Structure 1
Amino acid sequence: MGVIGQGLNEMPLGKVHSIQDRLHFLELDAQAADILAHLRPSMPEILEESLSEFYARLETMPEMAQFFPSKEMMHTAQSRQLAHWKTILTGRFGPDYVQDVMRIGAVHAQRGIAPRWYIGGYALLLSGIFHKLIKREILAFYKQHKGLLGALVGPKEQEIEEAAEQLATQIATLARAALLDMDLSISIYLEKLQEEKARADEERSALEQIARAIDRVAAGDLEASLSADVAEKSPLLAKAFHNLKNGFGGIVSEIRQASGLVRESAASINKGSSSILYQSEEQVGSIRKITDATAALETSISDVAEETGAAENAVRQCVVAATRGSTNIGHVQETMVEIRAAWNTISELVDTIQNIAAQTNFLALNANVEATRAAEMGRGFSVVATAIRDLSVKTTEAARQIASCARQSETMICNGDRAVNFMMSDLKEIGSGITIVSDAISKINVEMGKQEISVKETHGEAEALRDLTEKTSNMTRSTSLDCKDLTERSDKMVGLVSNFTLS
Structure 2
Amino acid sequence: MVRDTQDTLAKFALTGNDHEQLVRAGKMVMPILDDALEHFYSFAVADPEIAQFFPDDSVMAHARSAQKKHWQRLLSGTFDEAYFASAERVGTVHFKIQLPFSMYLSGYSRANAYIQQRLLERSGALLGKFAKHKHGEILGTLTRAFAFDTYQVIEAYFAAQKAEQDTAFKYLSDGIKRMSERDLSQSIPGPDESDYPARYDQVRQSFNELMGSMRDIIVTIQDSTGNLNRVASEVSQSAGDLSRRTETQAATLEETAAAVEEINNSMRSSTESTSKTEEVVLVTRNNAATGNEVAEQAVLKMREISESSVQISQIISVIDDIAFQTNLLALNAGVEAARAGDAGRGFAVVASEVRGLAQRAANSAKEIKSLVTSSTQHVDAGVAMVDQAGAALTSIVQEIETVSGLTADIVNSARAQSTGLSEISVGVSQLDTVTQQNAAMVEETAAAIMSLQQDTQVLSDLVGTFRVSGNTPVPIGVTRAGLSEAPLELLPRAVGY
**Band the TM-score falls in, shorter-chain normalisation:** 0.5 to 0.7
**Matched residue count:** 304
Which string of whole-angstrom CA distances, capped at 9 and with x for unpartnered residues, describes residues 335-386 of structure 1?
1111111111001100110111012101211220121122133324323322
For the pair 1:452 / 2:418, whether they are aligned, the reply is: yes
Structure 2 CA distance for partners of 1:207 and 1:450, relative to 1, 3 Å: farther
Does residue 255 of structure 2 align to residue 293 of structure 1? no
Match for residue 339 of structure 1?
305
Equivalent of residue 249 in structure 1, options 215, 219, 224: 215
**How far apart, in 1, do the equivalents of 2:445 and 2:205 lie?**
44
Question: Which stretch has the larger CA shift, 475-484 or 291-300?
Answer: 475-484
Of 440, 456, 471 in structure 2, the residue corresponding to residue 490 of structure 1 is 456
Question: Which residue in the other structure is 2:408 paired with?
Answer: 442
Distance 1:301 1:498 in 2: 67
Q: Structure 1 residue 213: deviation in Å?
A: 5.4
Partner of 2:230: 264
Q: 1:220 pairs with 182, 186, 197, which one?
A: 182
Residue type at the aligned position of 1:305 = T
Partner Cα separation in structure 2 for residue 454 and residue 317 of structure 1: 30
Secondary structure of 1:221's partner? coil
Q: Any conservation in 2 of the 1:343–1:410 contact (CA below 8 Å)?
A: yes
Q: CA deviation at 1:290?
A: 0.9
Pick the aligned partner of 2:322 from 356, 363, 366: 356
1:273 aligned onto 2:235: no
Conserved in 2, the CA contact under 8 Å of 1:216 and 1:224? no
Aligned to 1:481: 447
Match of 1:310 among 258, 273, 276: 276
Distance between the aligned counterparts of 2:289 and 2:367, measured in 1? 41
**How far apart are residue 238 of structure 1 and its match?**
5.9
1:306–1:344: structure 2 CA closer, same or farther, 3 Å change rule? same
CA separation in 2, counterparts of 1:313 and 1:210?
104
Task: After TM superposition, give the deviation of residue 272 of structure 1 in Å.
Answer: 2.6
Cα gap change, 1:467/1:210 in structure 2, threshold over 3 Å: closer, same or farther? farther
**Residue 395 of structure 1 aligns with which residue?**
361
Q: Which of 366, 374, 386 matches 2:332? A: 366
Asked whether the equivalents of residues 230 and 238 of structure 1 are also in contact (C-alpha less than 8 Å), the reply is no
Residue range with higher mean Cα deviation, 332-341 or 456-465: 456-465
Identity %: 25
Sort the Cα spacing of 1:399 and 1:231 in 2 relative to 1 into closer, same or farther, 3 A. Answer: farther
Structure 2 length-normalised TM? 0.54
Question: Cα RMSD (Å) of the superposition?
Answer: 3.3
Give the partner amino acid of 1:316. L
| Structure 2 counterpart SS, 1:321 | helix
Q: Which amino acid aligns with 1:501?
A: R
- Give the conservation status (yes or no) of the 8 Å contact 2:190–2:201: no
2-side partners of 1:382 and 1:454: how far apart? 102
Secondary structure of the corresponding residue to residue 249 of structure 1? helix
Q: Is the 8 A contact 1:217 1:224 kept in 2?
A: no
- Equivalents in 2 of 1:460, 1:253: separation in Å? 55
Question: Which stretches in structure 2 are left out of the alignment for 5+ residues?
Answer: 1-46, 50-164, 472-497
How far apart, in 2, do the equivalents of 1:479 and 1:364 lie? 130
Instruction: Give the Cα separation in 2 of the matches to 1:474 and 1:443.
Output: 45
Q: Secondary structure at the match of 1:500?
A: coil
Q: Which deviations, in whole Å up to 9, do the C-alpha atoms of 1:199-251 show, x marking residues without a partner?
A: xxxx9xx999979855652441323649989985794x765543332111112
The letter of the residue matching 1:443 is: D
What is the aligned counterpart of 1:385 among 339, 351, 355? 351
SS of alignment partner, residue 375 of structure 1: helix
Residue 411 (structure 1) aligned to one of 377, 380, 389: 377
Deviates more, 1:255-264 or 1:212-221: 212-221
Q: Does residue 324 in structure 1 map to residue 290 in structure 2?
A: yes
